[in-house]
Homo-oligomer: A and B are copies of this chain.
């Protein structure tokens, strides 16, 4: 019988000092509880998303030294933990000292050796290099080591043998992606099994949250346990980490599967927890009653991730107060409800900044929102400043030194719209936030961000783009959830939910006349989603092919009949498609480059997760041919 502690810790990225301290505390607790083994996540000491800090030699030496502290603390208990391992004698592909993403197994104050392997630690075999991951940039994989040693990778995947109460146990230690081998030509679990026996698999991870990912993980890991008839322990970190442009949450959800693949215990998501399980490898953990896994593909999970992510990011940047531009619309209302819950309404200042285009309706809704949430509130009109800007720009003479001639600049209505948006954010909110002692939020959603339907240095500014990984329809869902399940009252006024979404920057966007955004969310949300979130990213060629086949609505997942209702002819359909595609690859992208960090919840978020080059839009030859064919026949 093994008593195992799952150290689902909140790893602070780039803080080996704090992480080591926490690990020492947890080791002490686990020892007190007479645990035989304690398992910490991947990269528990340095953290995982730390950018190019890996190139600081002093930092990696520091991680090594803290790792020694943990090894020394492994007395009377076996400690399994993730850290960077450095081979100072060898070089990585970048020529720097070679670093491994490693799993350390320590007992009796030292690492458990294995004479069949060149190092006294285990090395990550599979390196993720998709989405936000950059493993190969920094670490040398077991696959590369195998190549150098002229051995099969599989032959290097050896179980670690520890002795507990005089009995030997063979542990199959893998790291995160090693358990997600579907797409790779190496299967670490199978290799370990072949080199076994293995009494217990241990997967230490640093796996960011994505909506629905834990459901999938349970399917994948559960079948690994079942197929090998061996229990599997998964320990993941909690906390917040980021890659600059994109902010991730880590949900933990550390889980123990018995040898039948059933879940016998798991840690709650998004919460630091030292969980214990008594596991007898001889009966494969079958003596425990299986528990049902929590579903993580629902609005509650999305709310939890966003709320947790905001919380963690605020502590990372040490921010305790925020200012929110409250327009009376849905995005700022959801933002306000989220932050008020996290920081307390007394630390959230809502600012309504009307111009002459803002309706009484939305002004009242902003005030109502503040009252409902009990947030601090003020109104600062922008019309005077906007008028001053317009007159300064249009009335000042521009002089040409070549001929001494002067001329004036002409301001169009479109330019006036952007002047208003920038006036609000850059002139007022930034200054107000500084006086208030906090930051101001960016309330842009993913639909807007996709096509740049927002103003740079205007409503696209802020310290964090909280909702920028939610399509507009998800923002509405979240609004409903906040009212019904979090606040359990209508804090976000129903009229804010019901009103037409509008920027109210011109007479063409008058909400009381039912006029609003050019984005038709029930269709465009789904169209845009296909550009970024689809496994094979959709392009106009795919869209037009599906349109012609009549499968578009099904492929996009939008409501049936909407396409023909919106676009009576193929020409109108194509014009709309090209308009948004050009914006997606054009101004939308240019604006995203300068957007605030995006809080990620989806399978593909903007920023470091979805990497983009500013090259303009492109239409394939097949698209152009199909388009010509369709237009010629209609």
Which of B126, B346, B378, B397 is in CB contact (< 8 Å) with A378? B397
Which of B136, B371, B397, B614 is in CB contact (< 8 Å) with A242? B614
Docked-complex contact B58 and A539, CB < 8 angstroms = yes
Which of B56, B390, B411, B621 is in CB contact (< 8 Å) with A539? B56
Contacts of A536 in B (CB 8 A): 55-57, 96
Contacts of A91 in B (CB 8 A): 183
Which of B13, B412, B425, B618 is in CB contact (< 8 Å) with A59? B618
Query: In chain A between 571 and 597, which residues have their CB closer than 8 angstroms to a CB of chain B?
Result: 589-590, 592-597
Chain A: residues with CB nearer than 8 A to chain B? 12-15, 17, 47, 49-53, 55-59, 61-62, 65-66, 91-96, 126-130, 134, 136-137, 143-144, 146-148, 150, 152-153, 182-186, 241-245, 316-318, 345-346, 349, 370-371, 374-380, 384-385, 388-390, 392-394, 396-402, 409-412, 414-415, 418-419, 422-423, 425-428, 430-432, 434-436, 456-458, 461, 463, 535-539, 541-542, 589-590, 592-597, 608, 610-616, 618, 620-623
Q: How many copies does the complex hold?
A: 2
User: A262 to chain B: closest CB distance in Å?
Assistant: 27
A126 vs B94: C-alpha distance when bound (angstroms)? 11
Can you list 8 residue pairs at the A/B interface with Cβ under 8 Å?
A94-B130, A129-B137, A243-B611, A244-B593, A376-B398, A422-B427, A422-B431, A456-B461
CB nearest to A12 among chain B residues: B615
Docked-complex contact B389 and A50, CB < 8 angstroms = no
Contacts of A183 in B (CB 8 A): 91-95
Which of B50, B153, B393, B623 is in CB contact (< 8 Å) with A432? B393
Contacts of A590 in B (CB 8 A): 317, 463
* Known pairs A91-B183, A245-B245, A593-B596 / 5 extra A-B pairs, C-beta < 8 Å: A12-B615, A93-B127, A130-B137, A316-B615, A380-B393
Docked-complex contact A52 and B392, CB < 8 angstroms = no
Which of B245, B412, B457, B615 is in CB contact (< 8 Å) with A426? B457
- Among A130, A144, A390: residue with most chain B CB under 10 A: A130
User: A247 to chain B: closest CB distance in Å?
Assistant: 8
Which of B95, B392, B401 is in CB contact (< 8 Å) with A428? B392
Docked-complex contact A613 and B244, CB < 8 angstroms = yes
Docked-complex contact A409 and B426, CB < 8 angstroms = no
A379 vs B396: C-alpha distance when bound (angstroms)? 8
Docked-complex contact A426 and B428, CB < 8 angstroms = no
Which of B127, B243, B436, B621 is in CB contact (< 8 Å) with A409? B436
- Among A17, A53, A412, A535: residue with most chain B CB under 10 A: A53
CB nearest to A57 among chain B residues: B536
Docked-complex contact A611 and B392, CB < 8 angstroms = no
Docked-complex contact A430 and B401, CB < 8 angstroms = no
